[in-house]
Structure 1
Amino acid sequence: MKMIKSIPTEIRQFLEKEGGSSLFLEGTAGTGKTTLGLQIIEIIGEPDKSFYLSTRVSDQALYNQFPWLEDKEMRAQVMDASKMFLQTIYEEEGEEESSELPESEKQKIESAQEFLSTVREAGPPEEVDRTRLKSLDKKIPGLERTYDRIDKVLPERPLLVIDSIEGITHKYDIDMEEFVTTIQKDLVENSNTNVIMILEAKSRPDLEYLVDGVVQMARYQIENRDVRETRLRKLRAIEIQQPAYLMSLKGGRFKCFEPYELEVMGEREWEPVEAEDGKYSSGTEDLDELLNGGFGAGSYNVFEVKENVSNEEFFSMIRPMFLNFMAQDRGVLAVLTGGTHPENLRRGLTRFIPEETFDKKFRIVEYLQSHSDKPYIMALGGKKGDQFRKSYKEGMESLRGPENKPIIDYVGLDTLEYLQGGEIAVKRLLENVAKTKNTDDVGIGILKPGLNISREIKNMADNYFVIDSINKTPCIYGIKPKTGLYAITTDEEKGTPYIEFKSIV
């Protein structure tokens, strides 16, 4: 499944279902309403059937804000329509009126049309309904021509984006409810038109009952980092499976993120990701960039995992680290976090590396197990003193090999604290971190919520990252070094299990 989409699945389904539909895009300034509206025209609309009605002062204002509209195809699809509307909205009063037919001829035509409508089969309307438009107290320059344009598209389904309702109704001093009702009745219900109406407000419950769908665009902060969200409040006749989506507006484009899923088509072997001298790649190029080239030799790196992060979301981040080390004939020593079963871990990783590589290069420390016939289990339960040191030394020698290669020393800090208690765990951790810093190894600590060890580990870490889940999308941001917020997604080019980071801006 593609994790990054240009339009949420439910909105696409809503606009592609039979008949006309109306949709409010609500949100304060800068939340992405116009970007999404224009992108819906690009993705769903057809060039000669889509129109963008705006109160902006010039086409150039749109080009400046959305450089991707300079694309030739989008010029033809959106900007020509926009330009026509803008010229109409801002044209001088007193434009020469087109000649009208005599009243007697109008009556004959209307009578003939009424008769034909009673004998033809029911189907999409072939002409635009103007009933409500004619009843408006004031004329809106450009709106009548909008109706004319839609009339030429019928019986095919047109798409109209109005940006914004406040701008148009304020300019012409028309009641908003009356305007929305006019659009809903004339164009949506009676003229088979999809209409997207942009509102410059967080929500308008007094108007929402008039339309078929309501989508809210929001922006808030986590740890002083911007988070953008698209909330699906109402989409008539559509099942909303994902009520809110994490989104980004990088490059003036709307992108939303589907929930993370691990999907593998067939078997594939991990291809190592290289790093510069003196560094070890994390297996994720974007993380390497945040780490100034990769994990440093002798560094201790902490990943704080928030309570709402699922095991699969968390492991999507850790999996490449393990795979990349083993694929380069380096070992991993692991004290697993609570809830991680050794067999499940092995099964998940050997989808991308040979089983013999895992058995040779991975050691899972089991403090409660005294014996195991599995080569990847280092059973230390019940062993003390010389016996403990001997078993540990033998395990490490087999893991490092004759060349004494560096390893990842991976510790689930919740397991450490559970087995040894808070004070002893802190002491043992200090010893391990100091030991790591005097080697070429890479220390990785996984910090779960509610641990007494939290404060000490933050101070000891060379690098400190937080993994969070926002609307079922795993995200990461750095405390040391300080970074922005990124969505963790499947690498679009390489596919699973490679991941990449997408900046939330």
Structure 2
Amino acid sequence: MKHCMKEDTVTGIIDKKGRIPNDLKAFFNSGGRSLILKGAPGTGKTTLALEILDNFSQECETCFISARIDEQALKRHLRWVDFEMLLSRGKDEGSRHTNKGTLSRKELDRLESRVEEGDESLEEDYNPGPGSGTVNGDTWTMDLTAILPEIDSLYDQLATDGSGKAMVAIDSVDSLSEKYGISTKRLIHTLQKDLVERSNVNVIFILETAENSSLDYMGDGVISLSMKEIGGRRLRLMKLDKLRGQSIRVPEIAFSLDYGRFYSFPDQSCISHVSKSGDEKIPIITLDGPLSGLTRPGEYTLFQIEGSVPTSIVQGLARAITLESATISRGIYTTPSLRLYGSRPMDKKHIGKHAETMKFISPTAMLRRNSVDPGTVQVDGESFAADFDFKGIAAMFPKSRSQLFLMDANQLLSHYGQAAIGDIENHIYHLIREGGTCINFTWPASNQQDMDLGMSHRLLKITNLGPHILLYGEKPHSPIYILASEAENPNARVFLQVL
């Protein structure tokens, strides 16, 4: 099934291309795999199933059966789908095929044996009534057209394709089971044996529940879709519970359904990793979305860094802020913070050729061996008010009309003590009033966060959700953004993608 991206003639927006995890692609590559796809209503099960089919449409025959969603509704909401793969007419109009399906006697003999033994677990299994099938030698022939028209259409489609490779999605197995009075377990078992194990077909079974059940053991793979609340915002998550024969590198992945496409985000290894030399890679972060305008004069921004956010992410953000201000020759002052600038704060990877616009105000106790360079301003470290005197700071930047103060508040309070809170607040207030900018990075271990909440124009939170780094604004309120890379390439630029 060939799929092409197409332009929306109403809005002029180009449809966004979807993405499924690499582990899931590898799982289906060998063929003959079944996947249990489950989740509560509205979590994106149908969209994911169609995205998987679209991903493999160039390699094999793809079929989609829906017993609960009208074909016209799919066309309205998911216009990118190749609707030639839909086998939904049997749902309302009867099958397009009139062939009869022939089933091996082996399964019937096994079923009859269990009945003779009084197996009570068969109570929910479908038991065809008299006249629904005939026995001829070793074969039981059943008129599936009268019972399961969708499945009959599917079998005929696969039989006539002849390519030897196929992928099927059934949405949902629960609906078909309820519609025809056949237990879900019995239906999955039949399709698993006939299509997956004997015909090497990939089959996606969609279930309309998020709960764990014995059905999970019947599939080669199990994926659960869910939604989670973070700071009063909704986050969509995909959990790879099981992929038989395939290692799962990232078990839980955030995804979006923008433009009606299923897009799973790459994990943070694409934006934060350790190089071969042992150095942590500093990502190139684009200041867009809630990060745009951070260095605007007269504003105070407070970052709350939650959880185990990698230091490289914070350093990448500090570098981006520094470069944006330095390129317009704006004076920047800060302290030699390991969390903001690492062990080599004046390295060109942080500030490039603009070193003359940046000063590190360093109390003697903060200085590290061999860390003194032309950008370092040594102070005695006894009083914050004296060390960060405005007249002295202005004299450092004679060509700059306003300055940017990049703070590691944890470091300042650790050195000057809690008694310096008032002096720090007064310094920020005076700086903002004079058209300067303050950007303050804080971590949960310190208790200085409360002192700044009322003063800040922006309050941004950065948190680590396992495989992803998330950012969202509390003031002003913003949706959740994920730090994503343009490609699965450690050297690619990092940008913010709204979830």
Report the TM-score, using the length of structure 1 for normalisation: 0.77
Identity percentage of aligned residues = 23
- In structure 2, the residue matched to 1:116 is none
Distance 1:132 1:324 in 2: 75
- In structure 1, the residue matched to 2:249 is 241
**Structure 2 residue corresponding to 1:412, chosen from 403, 408, 414:** 408
CA contact (8 A) 2:44 2:225 kept: yes
Distance 2:430 2:251 in 1: 48
- In structure 2, the residue matched to 1:81 is 85
Report the CA distance between 1:148 and its aligned residue: 1.6
Q: Please state if 1:178 is matched with 2:180.
A: no
User: Residues 133 and 8 (structure 1 numbering): CA distance in 2 closer, same or farther, change over 3 Å?
Assistant: farther
- In structure 1, the residue matched to 2:225 is 217
Matches within 5 A, 1:103-182: 139-154=147-162, 156-182=164-190
**Structure 1 residue corresponding to 2:288, chosen from 285, 303, 307:** 285
- In structure 1, the residue matched to 2:11 is none
Report the CA distance between 1:468 and its aligned residue: 1.2
Unaligned stretches of 5+ in structure 2?
A: 1-16, 103-138, 276-284
Report the CA distance between 1:365 and its aligned residue: 2.6
Figure out how many residues of one structure are paired with residues of the other and give that number.
435
CA contact (8 A) 1:433 1:443 kept: yes
CA contact (8 A) 1:335 1:365 kept: yes
**SS of the residue aligned with 1:428?**
helix
Matches within 5 A, 1:17-28: 18-28=30-40
CA contact (8 A) 1:20 1:157 kept: no
Q: Please state if 1:487 is matched with 2:482.
A: yes
Report the CA distance between 1:340 and its aligned residue: 4.9
Matches within 5 A, 1:391-470: 396-398=394-396, 400=397, 402-422=398-418, 424-470=419-465
User: Residues 98 and 263 (structure 1 numbering): CA distance in 2 closer, same or farther, change over 3 Å?
Assistant: closer
RMSD: 3.5
Distance 2:213 2:232 in 1: 30
Distance 2:101 2:451 in 1: 83
User: Residues 204 and 226 (structure 1 numbering): CA distance in 2 closer, same or farther, change over 3 Å?
Assistant: same
- In structure 1, the residue matched to 2:74 is 62
- In structure 1, the residue matched to 2:25 is 12
**Cα offsets for 1:79-107 (capped at 9, x unmatched):** 1221xx211222259x9945999xxxxxx
- In structure 2, the residue matched to 1:343 is 343
**Cα offsets for 1:129-155 (capped at 9, x unmatched):** xx9996999831121221121123345
Distance 1:231 1:100 in 2: 36
**SS of the residue aligned with 1:460?**
coil
- In structure 2, the residue matched to 1:208 is 216
Report the CA distance between 1:215 and its aligned residue: 0.6
**SS of the residue aligned with 2:453?**
helix
Higher deviation after alignment, 312-321 or 407-416: 312-321
CA contact (8 A) 1:489 1:500 kept: yes
Report the CA distance between 1:259 and its aligned residue: 2.1
Report the CA distance between 1:341 and its aligned residue: 5.5
**SS of the residue aligned with 1:415?**
helix
Distance 2:210 2:497 in 1: 26
- In structure 2, the residue matched to 1:361 is 357
**SS of the residue aligned with 1:67?**
coil
- In structure 1, the residue matched to 2:315 is 315
**Cα offsets for 1:46-101 (capped at 9, x unmatched):** 386000011145321102222333xxxx2xxxx1221xx211222259x9945999
**Cα offsets for 1:274-295 (capped at 9, x unmatched):** xxxxxxxx96132355xxx554
- In structure 2, the residue matched to 1:37 is 49
**SS of the residue aligned with 2:205?**
strand
**SS of the residue aligned with 2:439?**
strand
User: Residues 7 and 430 (structure 1 numbering): CA distance in 2 closer, same or farther, change over 3 Å?
Assistant: same
Distance 1:288 1:389 in 2: 27
User: Residues 335 and 137 (structure 1 numbering): CA distance in 2 closer, same or farther, change over 3 Å?
Assistant: same
**SS of the residue aligned with 1:343?**
coil
CA contact (8 A) 1:330 1:407 kept: yes
**SS of the residue aligned with 2:88?**
helix
Matches within 5 A, 1:190-201: 190-201=198-209
Distance 2:407 2:451 in 1: 15
Distance 2:271 2:296 in 1: 29
User: Residues 448 and 230 (structure 1 numbering): CA distance in 2 closer, same or farther, change over 3 Å?
Assistant: same
User: Residues 88 and 147 (structure 1 numbering): CA distance in 2 closer, same or farther, change over 3 Å?
Assistant: same
Distance 2:187 2:168 in 1: 15
Report the CA distance between 1:343 and its aligned residue: 3.2
CA contact (8 A) 1:370 1:383 kept: no
User: Residues 345 and 171 (structure 1 numbering): CA distance in 2 closer, same or farther, change over 3 Å?
Assistant: farther
Higher deviation after alignment, 381-390 or 167-176: 381-390
**SS of the residue aligned with 1:68?**
coil
Distance 1:132 1:239 in 2: 41
CA contact (8 A) 1:169 1:175 kept: yes
AA aligned to 1:376 is G
**Cα offsets for 1:180-225 (capped at 9, x unmatched):** 1111111011101011111111133211111100011010101110
User: Residues 249 and 388 (structure 1 numbering): CA distance in 2 closer, same or farther, change over 3 Å?
Assistant: closer
**SS of the residue aligned with 2:359?**
strand
CA contact (8 A) 1:218 1:229 kept: yes
**SS of the residue aligned with 2:219?**
coil
Report the TM-score, using the length of structure 2 for normalisation: 0.78
AA aligned to 2:161 is V
